[in-house]
Amino acid sequence: MPPRTLFDAIVIGSGIGGLVTATQLAAKGAKVLVLERYLIPGGSAGYFERQGYRFDVGASMIFGLGDQGTTNLLTRALNAVNVSQESIFDPVQIHYHLPNGLDLKVDRVYEKFLQSLIAYFPHEQKGIRRFYDECQQVFNCLNRIDLLSLEEPRYVMRVFFQHPLACLGLAKYLPQNVGDVARRHIKDPQLLKFIDMECYCWSVVPANMTPMINAGMVFSDRHYGGVRYPKGGVGQIAQKLADGLEKAGGEISYQARVTKIITEKGRAVGVQLANGKVYYGKRIVSNATRWDTFEKLLPADEMPVNEKNWQQRYQKSPSFLSLHIGVKASVLPTGTECHHILLEDWQKMAAPEGTLFVSIPTLLDPDLAPAGYHIIHAFTPHWIDDWQKLSPSEYEAKKEQAAGRIIERLEQIFPGLDAGLDYLEVGTPRTHRRFLGRADGTYGPIPRRKLRGLLGMPFNRTALPGLYCVGDSTFPGQGLNAVAFSGFACAHRIAVDLGL
């Protein structure tokens, strides 16, 4: 039998979490292989091209590309493998179009944002300041420490001795959710609904189920490192990380769909591809969702108890219905912002087609569309069950009807959009499942009930020796900067385990 080629680490999937893990390990001299089922890297942070348009697969509101502090994790990940990414400042994080005439822009300048919100809720001036200032305190604690693996005791001790106050501050907020903190300062039910939306727009759950640590990061970093758009599209971040990985001596293989994690004597030792090819590694990292990892890549009937417990606490969030639109530039009024959220009824915030998310990245980077045109990416939550068991003609008709409803709503902010359409492509939860390889096309895990902040979210090691998970179903959860954090943590833990 020929000797096995043994990698230090094999990473399943090239989402941002997987790529950060791989590049961090390669930068430390590890022999790393990344296996990606699709043609390009990035997963939900990928892109596709049609008729002169370059569309982002997912959202285009990017944190972590700043140049100061320790929370600019995407910049730090790129730097580790000697690559860089030009980015364009977005002066407004979101333009909210909410019920009861609540029309508000979240300005990059903190004070300007607070004043805009206070103008709607003058009686809550003190509460607004206290709540968002408390979010800033969480962020300042995070932004002081090197964000690595909380599973590594020596690192935790070292950081604690270097920054005791920051660590105690974070420990205090770990079990808390945003809703609890907001209600300590704020009474107005409409303002509390607004804070629900501030959370929902990235966590897809309301404030009482959103961990305070995550909110501290998002609500404050938008005024610190700022929201930035990567020049050339979001897909460039993954592309640059993949290039950096190869420069650092790592390997990435495309159209390599892993169908099985191989175990020997109760330990993960390798992976098998759909074509039967087998690779062996000292450590295996899954950037697939935990559902895909423990129900498809491993025997579902042998699922470890702690994974079953995790599934009792967390469920799959919905997927999205996405419209990728090419439109005449004249449709957008002067002064239009890049990101919008549209909701007509507070009761429908979390319902399918309730909240409508809109990104117009060509306002920041016009090169993504033909001259005289813009890209509008509109997406709204949808469950995969509503799209199953349809004939091809029923499927197309359902897509067309849903697109019609969304365009009608977009016309409220962009009159004449329908008449200015140049290109339209509709993606459903089935599309997300097929291209991203995510169970039910899910956006990620959400709590089944109110949990104690981030305490229920697992770290990178799993109950199966040799197997680690990375990405949005590990601490600290969803969002590009959050999965980058999980990548730094995972690589740090593996490097210590391998003695690198």
Please indicate, yes or no, whether residues 330 and 183 belong to a single structural domain of this protein. no
Tokens of 116: 């805009």
Please indicate, yes or no, whether residues 324 and 401 belong to a single structural domain of this protein. yes
pLDDT digits (tens, 9 = 90+) for 254-304: 999 999 999 999 999 999 999 999 999 999 999 999 999 999 999 999 999
Task: Look at residue 103 and tell me whether its pLDDT is greater than 90.
Answer: yes
- What pLDDT is recorded for position 357? 96
Q: Do the domain assignments include residue 98?
A: no
Dihedral class, residue 255 (left if φ above 0, else alpha if ψ from -120 to 50, else beta): left
DSSP letter string, 281-329? EEEEEE-S-HHHIIIIITTGGG--HHHHHHHHHEEEPPEEEEEEEEEEG
- What pLDDT is recorded for position 435? 83
Beta strands in 346-447 (DSSP E): 356-359, 373-382, 421-427, 445-447
Q: Look-up: residue for tokens 């994974």?
A: 307
pLDDT digits (tens, 9 = 90+) for 465-482: 999 999 998 988 888 888
Please indicate, yes or no, whether residues 219 and 235 belong to a single structural domain of this protein. no
Report which DSSP code applies to 90.
Answer: -
pLDDT digits (tens, 9 = 90+) for 483-499: 999 999 999 999 999 99
Task: Look at residue 148 and tell me whether its pLDDT is greater than 80.
Answer: no
Report which DSSP code applies to 361.
Answer: G
Q: Do the domain assignments include residue 174?
A: yes
Task: Look at residue 2 and tell me whether its pLDDT is greater than 60.
Answer: no
pLDDT-based confidence at 71, cuts 50/70/90?
Answer: confident
- What pLDDT is recorded for position 3? 60
- What pLDDT is recorded for position 456? 77
pLDDT digits (tens, 9 = 90+) for 188-231: 999 999 999 999 998 888 999 999 988 988 999 999 988 999 99
Please indicate, yes or no, whether residues 407 and 342 belong to a single structural domain of this protein. yes
340-368 burial by CB neighbour count: b if 16+ within 10 A, else e?
bbbbeebeebbebebbbbbbbbbbbbeeb
Please indicate, yes or no, whether residues 331 and 396 belong to a single structural domain of this protein. yes
Give the Cβ contact number of residue 229 at 10 Å.
26
Q: In total, how many domains does the chain have?
A: 3
Please indicate, yes or no, whether residues 342 and 489 belong to a single structural domain of this protein. no
Q: Do the domain assignments include residue 96?
A: no
Considering 176, 204, 225, which residue would you say is the last residue of a domain?
Answer: 225
Mean pLDDT of 417-422: 91
Query: Coil, strand, or helix at residue 355?
Result: coil
> Over pLDDT 90: what percentage of the chain?
74
Please indicate, yes or no, whether residues 298 and 257 belong to a single structural domain of this protein. yes
Mean pLDDT of 44-72: 88
CATH assignment at residue 250: 3.50.50.60
pLDDT-based confidence at 455, cuts 50/70/90?
Answer: confident
Q: What mean pLDDT, rounded, does the chain reach? A: 92
Task: Look at residue 448 and tell me whether its pLDDT is greater than 90.
Answer: no
CA distances from 145 to 142, 148, 398, 406 (A): 6, 9, 49, 43
Q: Do the domain assignments include residue 192?
A: yes
Please indicate, yes or no, whether residues 251 and 346 belong to a single structural domain of this protein. no
> What gap in Å lies between CA 233 and CA 240, rounded to an integer?
12
Task: Look at residue 405 and tell me whether its pLDDT is greater than 60.
Answer: yes
Please indicate, yes or no, whether residues 170 and 208 belong to a single structural domain of this protein. yes
280 contacts 489 by C-beta, under 8 angstroms:
no
Query: Coil, strand, or helix at residue 473?
Result: coil
> Over pLDDT 70: what percentage of the chain?
99
> What gap in Å lies between CA 279 and CA 35, rounded to an integer?
10
Mean pLDDT of 74-92: 94
Backbone angles phi, psi at 159, to 5 degrees: -65, -40
Q: Do the domain assignments include residue 392?
A: yes
Please indicate, yes or no, whether residues 300 and 337 belong to a single structural domain of this protein. no
Task: Look at residue 83 and tell me whether its pLDDT is greater than 90.
Answer: yes
Q: Do the domain assignments include residue 440?
A: no
Tokens of 134: 């408390």
Residue 461: how many CA atoms within 13 Å on its side-chain side? Answer: 14
Please indicate, yes or no, whether residues 116 and 195 belong to a single structural domain of this protein. yes
CA dihedral 72→78→82→86, nearest 10 degrees, is: -80
Mean pLDDT of 317-341: 94
Backbone angles phi, psi at 324, to 5 degrees: -100, 115
Q: Do the domain assignments include residue 100?
A: no
pLDDT digits (tens, 9 = 90+) for 361-403: 999 999 999 999 999 999 999 999 999 999 999 999 999 999 9
Please indicate, yes or no, whether residues 292 and 325 belong to a single structural domain of this protein. no
Domain range for residue 472? 6-46+62-85+230-314+448-498
- What pLDDT is recorded for position 45? 84
Q: Do the domain assignments include residue 207?
A: yes
59 contacts 66 by C-beta, under 8 angstroms:
no
